Amino acid sequence: MLTNWPTTETRLQKFRGLRTEQKTGAVTWGLNHLLKRDATMLKRQLSRLQTYLGEIKYMTRLPDIIIIVDQQEEYTALRECITLGIPTICLIYTNSDIDLTDISIPANDDAVASFQLILYKVVEIP
């Protein structure tokens, strides 16, 4: 998703526009102003965009740094960061490769309390 940022950014703008139209009522989502088929298609498109882009809807540019909790699970994101030159902080467990990340933090990535504590300390403002 990051290596294809121009396309992702275009889709994010479309998503934001549809959400704004839905919230403000600029487009009536009922039968009064849109055909039922058109309203259904817009709702389906908004739902699909929410599924794929909902977590990054406020992103306006590529991130400066990325924190990865599970290197094995997020390997694709890690490779994209390496390709784009985005620095990464990664929680490293025994099954992870420390050479792929810029900053490695040894931790149990399966224990929620472990990475919650570390993430809290990483983002803590002094």
Q: pLDDT tens, 8-54?
A: 899 999 898 888 877 776 555 554 566 777 778 888 888 999 998 88
pTM: 0.71
pLDDT tens digits, one per residue of 20-31: 877 776 555 554
Q: What is the pLDDT of residues 68-116, one digit of tens each?
A: 988 888 899 999 999 999 999 998 888 888 888 999 888 887 788 887 8
**Backbone angles phi and psi of 106, in degrees to 5:** -70, 125
Cα–Cα distance for residue pair 67/65, rounded to 1 Å:
7
User: Shortest CA distance to 93 belongs to which of 110, 116, 78?
Assistant: 110
